[in-house]
Amino acid sequence: MTSTLAVRPRRAAATARVALVGYLLFVGFTVWLPASVSSKVTGLVGVTARWVAEAGIASYQQSAVVLEILANVALFVPVGLLLPFAWPRLRLWQVTLAGGLLSIVIESVQGLMPSRFPTVSDVIANTTGTFLGAVIATVLLALLSRGPERARNRRLAS
């Protein structure tokens, strides 16, 4: 008979894998739309850059560049967050490498699309986002693994 503790990690990994597939479908949909359609779906960067420019904080061009980079970082944080939960044996460098390779695939396909163009800055930003997500996941996994141990120690102490 399998213990409850042995089943939970498997269930958590399966759930993380399903969530990762769903998120990757969303990413694919977002990054491979034609540019004319994509700007309507992901127009938040332009709207925010316009607001920053109107507030006199920075020019539209400057804020659009910074926000585009931040959006690319944010887009890949969930990838870095979900991969370690989906495959707990992966190390930080492996998760980061996987995110970087995924980004290279995305940018390569965009290079084949007439309305899109690949950029190295997107690969760097996406890889950074994967790394940040993986760091968060590493901290969360460490905290979660201590939880049962602390509860057991409290029971033994009382």
- Write out pLDDT tens, residues 40-50: 666 778 888 88
Residue 4: pLDDT band by 50, 70, 90 thresholds? very low
Predicted structure pTM score: 0.82
Percent of the chain clearing pLDDT 90 (strictly above)? 58
> pLDDT digit string (tens) for 78-126?
999 999 999 999 999 999 999 999 999 999 999 998 888 899 999 999 9
Q: Which of 72, 90, 67 is nearest to 17 (CA)?
A: 90
pLDDT band at 150 (very low <50, low <70, confident <90, very high): low
* DSSP letter assigned to residue 89: T
148, two tokens: 């049962």
